[in-house]
Every structure is written in structure tokens, then in C-alpha cells.
Structure 1
Amino acid sequence: MDALIGSLEALIAKKRAIKQAAMQQLLTGRTRLPGFSGEWETRRVGELAEVDPENLSASTPPDFSFNYISIDGVDAGRLAGYTKESFRTAPSRARRVVRAGDVLMSTVRPALRGHLFFDGRLLNAVCSTGFAVLRAKRDRCEPHFLFAHLFGDIVDAQLQALLVGSNYPAINGTDVRGLRVTCPPTLEEQRAIASILADMDAEIAALERRLAKTRAVKQGMMQQLLTGSIRLPIPNAVAENGSDQ
């Protein structure tokens, strides 16, 4: 069991490294996919997406109910949890309206990469003001491509520069709009790149689920063995020696 867990951990680390290398190539235009050509260009996020396009106002009905996504509810691209809230009792940060296809970029401790592509399956969603909500301008940007850039080296280097000397690790909407990303000349190439990276993410996620299941099985076996719920059979040689004494 330990050997299987170790091999899965090593495989996941390898797949993550492969994906990171692929991002460095595909998100910069160093490696082009077959069938695509043309010069890449550098664009600012504010050109490619609306930033925080919808917010709950102070006049929102007190009994308005929604599903709230906090900063703690997102873990590196995964929605880990949410709470049901009403406007009357919700945290003061619960203000950003989220729609299907939006990208949630963590602006608090952004180096932790607590970003999320929102697929819309959670209805009536509102997120914390600790996120910047990026709503891609669909004639200019594929949202999955923009989301992928948030985990890439180009954006990471800019975030590190913005946070140098800061007492509080956070950025604001102006900072987000000013972030630069490299883009291919067509939406089709953006979609193709995003699809490849999404497939890699899906493979890693499947391995992580398998690892979690294996760890759970090991934990269950240990509990049963240590409590005597399961007894190990006595080897024949030991049993025979014991009977001779």
C-alpha cells in the first residue's frame, strides 16, 4: 500500500512538472500547435476582460439568498466549498456576482494561486471581494485561456513584482487590469491551447482522486488492524512451534 501511494505521489509530481513546462511553451508562443501561424501579441487583462462587472449594491433586498464562495472555498483551481447566505447576514465581503464562464482571480495572497474557473453549476453564486471576477470579452479572449495564464510564469512574475515591499500580500482591480498576457492572433488557437492544458488538469485530478482513495483505504485497514477488528492469520510454522511447547 505504501509503495502504491509513493508511486502515485511521484507520478502526480511528474505530471505537474510536465504541465508546467507545457504552459511555459504554449502560453508564450515558443511552441505552436500544428495548423496555426501569425504573430503573438501582448495584451493587458483589462483589454481582454471586464473586471468585477457585477456587484451586489447596498439596496439589495435583505432576504436575497445566494451561494457564497469565500477565499477559503477555492483551492488551486478547485471549488472546495461554499455556504448558503442571505444578504442580511452574509459577510460584508460577499459582493461579487459570478456568472458561468467567469474567472475568479484571488487578489489576496495571489501567490497561493487560489483561482477558479466558474463553470456555472453552482447557481446564484456570489464571491468574496477578495477575488477579482474576470468576464472575458468573447470576441477577444477565450476564458479558459485567460484562466490558464493565471497559473503561468508570465503573470506570476508580475504579481511578485507588485507585492515586493508590500506589508499586506494583496493587489487591487487596477493592478489586475494592468497585468500583461501573451495571446495568439486567433480565438481558435487560444481554445486549442486551453483544451490541451485542461486535459492535463483532468489527468492530474484523476490521479489525485485515486491517491486520496488509496490513502483512505490504508487508513481504514490500519484502524481495523490496530483495534483488532481484523486479525492476521498465524503462519503455519509459528502455529506448529507453538503447539510443541
Structure 2
Amino acid sequence: MFITNRGEIEGRLDPIFHHPLYKQLEEKLKQASSQLDYLSNYIISFDTGKNLPQTDEGIPYLRTQNVRMIFPTLEDVSYVADTTNIKKTQNGDLLFVRVGVGVGDCCVISENEANSAFSDNVIRIKLKPGINPYYVATYLSTYIGRNLFFKGLKGSGKPVISRENIDAIVLPILSTETQSKIQADIFAATTQYNGKLSEAATMIHKVDFTIAKLIGFEFPEIVDKKTFVTKISELENRIDPHFYLPGFKDLIDNIRQINHAQLGDVVEFSNETWNQKDGFENEFPYIEISEIDLTSGKIQNISYIPISEAPSRARMVIRTNDIIVSSTRPHRGAIAFINEQQNGFIASTGFAVLRKLLRADISKEYLFYILRTQICLQQMLQRSSGGSYPAITTEELKKIFIPIPSPEVQQQIVVDIKAFIDKAEALKAEAKQDLEKAKQEIEALILS
């Protein structure tokens, strides 16, 4: 609880705008030795992209999930047809997430991402010479920069960034030398951060081979065949050649050599849905596919959204010990295990919800971990359909084969994987801590 004098109200009646934290940070910014100025005075142009139909080929199409703080990511980037009327990014552009997951994140376009299209939920600004876009993005990633930027955002459940918000950004105007030093520092810190994340990911990837050895499974040799033959007797109700690739056939043949069952015979799929009215007072906890950590399977963030603003896909009720599997691009491994604290939360209809076990010879934890291995993810890829965003239906997901070793081996697998994940998570936490420390040092440099 806090009190704001009438004379301090700046045309905004929403309480969070007048939080004492913002006042403290504004005073701290004013004490900086450098001159302060509005970002609007350094903006050449401001625009948003377009909502474009995605294709299998063409030019990269940057969406909100590709805009991350300071540096964009091309992981799982989509593509659109290259036409003359498409707005394209240029080296040095500054992109902002306008709305949705990651709202307020901003990144700088390098030569690697130049000539890309961008979506209508992404804002692009071009800056005048003399103001380094990497300095601006880095400043907005610091504690003081990000908090003061978010002070001006409007909207409770789904805040939206406007031209007004970006124009109102106040930042210290530093010498070009200092701006360049900040760019070099954040490049070095991010390189170190990405190196540790890569090390953590490599650690997790070794899990597949550990599990395979324990269950007596052998991954087939990868052979890139341009042509292949499939017998009529082996055809299912699918006519897409992708489904019959030899690599998929060899994988399933190897699974058939050990004890196994199809997923639909192992676990019951839940159809429990929420009517978007009852069960919550004002806001509801919502889990989106993008919040599943692909390395660990942990849910990174729970959004609390006003019931009146519930997305149409916010309908699946999840319970303790449920396993949720993303049906969109399932081979990426966006699969999570629901704990007691998440009981009764709402998930996107983009998840299949696995609930009641139908067999006594398999544990829920083992099922969760085996689903996240390439033994199962490759089967999900095989049974998916669609171009840039392949998806798997519930019926196709039920058909994937699950290896079922003895209960003792299942327990050993659970113990071993947890140990792998704990080590990887510790490495990621260390990487994050190092990056935050670097940002704090940069913030001190900006304010000194």
C-alpha cells in the first residue's frame, strides 16, 4: 500500500503507474552524470509489420517469439513468400514485441536477420546516426530501463506497446565511445551465456543415449535416401511421402524388438474443459506452449489473465500429475509434467492432456521422460502434417509406440534423467546469473 499526492498524478489513475519504485528509479536516473533525452528525438521512422500467410519457402518471417532481448533468434523461424510490397528489416533496425508473450522485449537486427519480413505484432523503429541501437536495447534490458519502460504500458492482462510508449522512453545520452563499449560488453556477456546454455543442452541430449542403453534400444543409422520404396501392405491411411521415410520405419522396427505399447493403450487422454466463466474470481492462470522449457520440460511462466480477456484457446483444465503435450510442432518437445501447485490451471487447446494410466506396468514419471526423447519425438514428427507448423492430431498421437522396460529400469531412468536435468538447470542458472551481473555492471556504467 502507498499514497500518492494529488499534485503528483500525471494524468493516469491506474495505481501501478504511481508505484514508489518508479519514483525511486526516476530519481536515480536524474542523478546520472549524462544528459537525459527522449528516445523520440532519435527516431527516424516507426512502423509495424503485416500478418502474412506462411509458406514452406521464401524469406524469414520474424514473429514475437523471434524477438528476444537484444539479440533476435531464428530458431523455428517461419517463412513467407518474397513479394515487392513486403516490409523488410535492415541492419540496425530495432524491433519490439508489441503485444502477447514477451511484450516489451526488443532486439537489434544484424546482417543475419536483414531482409526478413515481420509480423503485425512487431514494431520496428529506425534510429538516427549517433545513437547505437545495441546501446538502446541493452539499456532497456537493465533493471532501471525495463522497469521505467513498463511503467507506461497500458492493459492489465495483455499490455500493448504503442508509439506513445516508445516516444516516452528517457535514456542517458552517452558518447559514441561509451555506447560502443556497452555493445562490446553485452556481446561478450551474451557469448559466454550462450556457451553455457549450449553446454546444458548437450548434457540433456545425452539423456537419449542413456535411456536407449538402459531399455536395450538402438537408434538406427541415419541414411539420407533421395528415393525409397514402400510396400502396399505397409501403407496406412496416409499418402504423404514424409510419413514413409526409411528413418522412421527403421526407428519403429527397432522399437518393436523390445517390450512396447501404443500411447493410446498406455494412458487416457483428458477431455476436461473450462467454460471460461466459472472457477475463478477475476483472473485465471494460463499455460501457453511457448512457456514450456524445451530442455527441462519445466513451465517457465504462468500468465494470469482477466477472465474477460480469455483467449479462445484457453480451455483445457489440467490436474496434478497430468502430462501435457504440445500438438503443434510436437517434435520440439514442449511436454510438461503438472505439479500440485498447478492443479486446476488452464492450458491451451494446443496441448493434449494425458491423465489416467491404463496399465500397471508403467509409471507416469517414466512416461513423461520417455515422451521427451527422440525415440518418441521422431514418431510425433512422422505422424504430424502441415507445412511450416506441422501438428499432430490426438488420434495420431495415440498411435506412437512407447518402450516399456521393467519397473526397476523405469525407476533407474527417472533417477538418472533427474540428475542430468539438475546439472543442466544449475548450469543455466549460473549462466543467467553471470548475464545479469554483466547487465548490472553496464547499468552502473550508464548511470556513472
Q: Name the TM-score, length of structure 2 as normaliser.
A: 0.44
Report the equivalent of 1:146.
367
Report the equivalent of 1:16.
204
SS of the residue aligned with 1:67? strand
Report the equivalent of 1:29.
216
SS of the residue aligned with 2:340? coil
Q: How many residues align?
A: 216
Unmatched segments (≥5 aa) in structure 1:
32-38, 230-245
2:310 to 78, 90, 99: 90
State whether structure 2 residue 264 is matched by structure 1 residue 62. Answer: no
Report the equivalent of 2:9.
none
Rounded Cα–Cα distance in structure 1 between residues aligned with 2:308 and 2:447? 52
The answer to whether the 8 Å contact 1:105/1:132 transfers is yes
List aligned pairs for 1:64-213, cutoff 5 A: 64-65=279-280, 66-76=284-294, 77-85=297-305, 89-137=309-357, 139-163=360-384, 166=387, 168-184=389-405, 186-213=406-433
The answer to whether the 8 Å contact 1:94/1:127 transfers is yes
Rounded Cα–Cα distance in structure 1 between residues aligned with 2:352 and 2:433? 34
SS of the residue aligned with 1:218? helix
SS of the residue aligned with 1:211? helix
SS of the residue aligned with 1:178? coil
The answer to whether the 8 Å contact 2:332/2:377 transfers is no
Report the equivalent of 2:165.
none
Rounded Cα–Cα distance in structure 2 between residues aligned with 1:45 and 1:99? 19
Rounded Cα–Cα distance in structure 2 between residues aligned with 1:12 and 1:97? 32
For 1:57-110, what per-residue CA distance to the aligned partner results, in whole angstroms no more than 9, with x for missing partners?
xxx472432422122232321212223356664222222221111111000121
For 1:131-160, what per-residue CA distance to the aligned partner results, in whole angstroms no more than 9, with x for missing partners?
001124162321111111222122122122
Rounded Cα–Cα distance in structure 2 between residues aligned with 1:193 and 1:217? 36
Moved more, 138-147 or 97-106: 138-147
SS of the residue aligned with 2:342? coil
Q: Name the TM-score, length of structure 1 as normaliser.
A: 0.76
Distance 1:149 1:6, change over 3 A: closer
Rounded Cα–Cα distance in structure 2 between residues aligned with 1:121 and 1:191? 24
**Which amino acid is the alignment partner of residue 148 of structure 1?**
Y
Distance 1:105 1:200, change over 3 A: same
**Which amino acid is the alignment partner of residue 101 of structure 1?**
N
Rounded Cα–Cα distance in structure 2 between residues aligned with 1:83 and 1:73? 9
Give the alignment's Cα RMSD to 1 decimal.
2.8
Report the equivalent of 1:236.
none
Moved more, 144-153 or 89-98: 89-98
SS of the residue aligned with 1:75? coil
Unmatched segments (≥5 aa) in structure 2:
1-187, 219-256
Greater RCO, CA 8 A, separation 6+:
1
Report the equivalent of 2:443.
223
Moved more, 141-150 or 100-109: 141-150
Rounded Cα–Cα distance in structure 2 between residues aligned with 1:61 and 1:153? 36
The answer to whether the 8 Å contact 2:324/2:354 transfers is yes
The answer to whether the 8 Å contact 2:385/2:391 transfers is no
Rounded Cα–Cα distance in structure 2 between residues aligned with 1:52 and 1:6? 38
Report the equivalent of 1:242.
none
**Which amino acid is the alignment partner of residue 23 of structure 1?**
I
Report the equivalent of 2:265.
47
